Structure 1
Amino acid sequence: PGLEVSMTMLAVDALLDEVAENRAHIGLAYNPPPHARIAYRASSAQPVVLLLRKDHPLAKRGGPASLNDLQAYPLALMPSTFGIGHVVSMAQVAANVSIRPTLVTNSLSALKRFVTAENFMTLVGEFAAYRELGSEELTTVAVAHPLFESAQARVLVKADRPLAAGPLELLKWIEERMPMFAPVKRPARRKPIR
């Protein structure tokens, strides 16, 4: 009772600063880079995948996409200050390739709309497109690269900063009830009848 929650969407770099500077109690970030003043409270493997229409040539081909495939079709991306932008930047350096998007926007909604309207593709964490995947119009294709396969969603707090009761309760709720962070509940084992 009495807890007020304010949520702001930020690029991962700005989110890290908000938590590190005590302007935010908790951060939910996709693939944040390490930060000396930030502690991870929970992590969830969330590979970066291509989101595209089911009739896209890469979806029809089957199998994972390569970094070269990211250059072969119109690509819409988040800016480099976002988690996926960090993955793309690191992959370009690691593989010595240049991935040039046709469209850059900080709107996940816009990215999804471009993918449904044209032969675009975009990179997302699969969890970010669960509604669109249920529509039967879109699908995902894995990207065969260790940086894309190892991306993480994380719950962030400032290191060495105790949380007040309200933010601590919200943090517990996130850790216990958000599907990507909640522990997997396995059914109880039945005892054999003798």
Structure 2
Amino acid sequence: MWKLNPRALRYLNEVSRQGSLRKAAARLNVDVSAISRQLHQLEEEIGLPVGYRNGQGFVPTEVGEELISLYRQQKASEDATLSRIEALQDLRRGQVTLAVGEGFIADLISAPLQSFMQHYPDIAISVEMAGANEAVRLVKEDEVDLALVYAPQPDSALHCHVTRNRPLDLITPPGHPLSRKGRPDIHDVLNYPLALIDQQFGMGQLPRLVEQLEHIRFKPQLKTNSVSVLKNFVLSGMGLTFMPRLTVHEEVMAGKIICLPAPHPLLARAEAQIISHKGRELTVAGERLLRHLSEGMLFFSQGR
């Protein structure tokens, strides 16, 4: 039975993440030769290569991927254990990293995050803006603890803690012809100026799937990677877009935007989720924040 060297696993993980021994050495503040030596010894011990170099840099083999996964699971378990020890000190220390889609920001910042930070002032929260695809990548590479995502693609490497049906509705300016129709059909949308968000976002992927299912083609007058730009496109009266109602909740309540039911079953089934990397144990701080967000955010609380 092998006894794997923790330092070698750490070096392998960093080389894989950085893409080269040189970059990993700079990141770890060690000599390249030290990393090379550790990886060579690791390969000699298990009798199989852990990676190879190509034009793009260092690429782990299947064996290397298994070892990297083992290292990350061990590191996550170690972090969780240390966090639970800290919990015995009333959560006086801790850190949680979040990847968050732009559409969740107003809901996140309005009250839930503020009340959590007031209750746990010594837990540091790091929030990184990311579309669904980028958020999933950050979770799978263990660069964030949790992600708030909208309409992500199914992925067996993810664990979904909370899921809520939040349809991708049709958003129009007040007085728009479709606002008087009640429940427009998806084909009605083709007759008016439209803005769509990029496909890196769940909100952008769903309309593309509708196009394939219905054999239609949206011709957006505006494409963007910003939820704010989409919202202002509608606020200015320029045209329509697709958004979850909660993303424009304040504008709807103020009568500045009209929210119509999702004009297609696929859009009506869209979900908001809180996810983490399957097999990675959350720290106590992460578990507390997860519970706080699932109970306090409109997107995730029950009956909203």
Relative to the length of structure 2, the TM-score reads 0.58
- The aligned counterpart of 2:229 is 110
2:255 aligned residue:
136
C-alpha separation in 1, matches of 2:256 and 2:302: 31
Residue 8 of structure 1 aligns with an amino acid whose one-letter code is: E
Alignment match of 1:8 (pick from 95, 120, 128): 128
Q: Distance in 1 between matches of 2:226 and 2:291?
A: 29
Task: Name the aligned partner's letter for residue 51 of structure 1.
Answer: I
**1:25 counterpart residue number:** 145
Q: Report the Cα offset of residue 184 of structure 1.
A: 4.4
Find the partner of 1:152 among 271, 274, 280.
Answer: 271
The equivalent residue for 2:186 is 67
1:147 CA drift (Å): 0.5
* Aligned-pair Cα RMSD in Å: 1.5
Amino acid at match of 2:293: I
User: Are the counterparts in 1 of residues 170 and 263 from structure 2 also a CA contact under 8 Å?
Assistant: no
The change in CA–CA distance for 1:159 and 1:130 in structure 2 (over 3 A counts) is same
Q: Residues of 1 paired with 2:294 and 2:150: CA distance?
A: 15
Residue by residue over 1:55-101, the C-alpha shift from the partner in whole angstroms, topping out at 9 and shown as x without a partner, is: 111002x2212221221111011101111111111111111111121
The answer (yes or no) to whether the contact 1:40–1:154 under 8 Å persists in 2 is yes
Asked if 1 retains the 8 angstrom alpha-carbon contact of 2:163 and 2:272, the reply is: yes
Structure 2 unaligned residues grouped into runs of 5+: 1-119
In structure 1, the residue corresponding to 2:211 is in which secondary structure? Answer: helix
More helix by share: 2
Q: State how 1:87-126 maps to structure 2 within 5 Å.
A: 87-126=206-245
> Would you say how many aligned residue pairs link Structure 1 and Structure 2?
184
- Give unmatched runs, 5+ long, in structure 1: 186-194
1:171 aligns with 2:290: yes
Higher relative contact order (CA 8 A, sep 6+): 1
How much has 1:116 moved relative to structure 2? Answer: 1.5
Q: Using the alignment, how far apart are the partners of 1:36 and 1:163 within structure 2?
A: 18
User: Structure 1 residues 92 and 184, CA, compared in 2 at 3 Å: closer, same or farther?
Assistant: closer
2:246 alignment partner AA: F
- Cα distance in 1 between the residues matched to 2:296 and 2:250: 19
Name the SS for the 2:276 alignment partner: strand
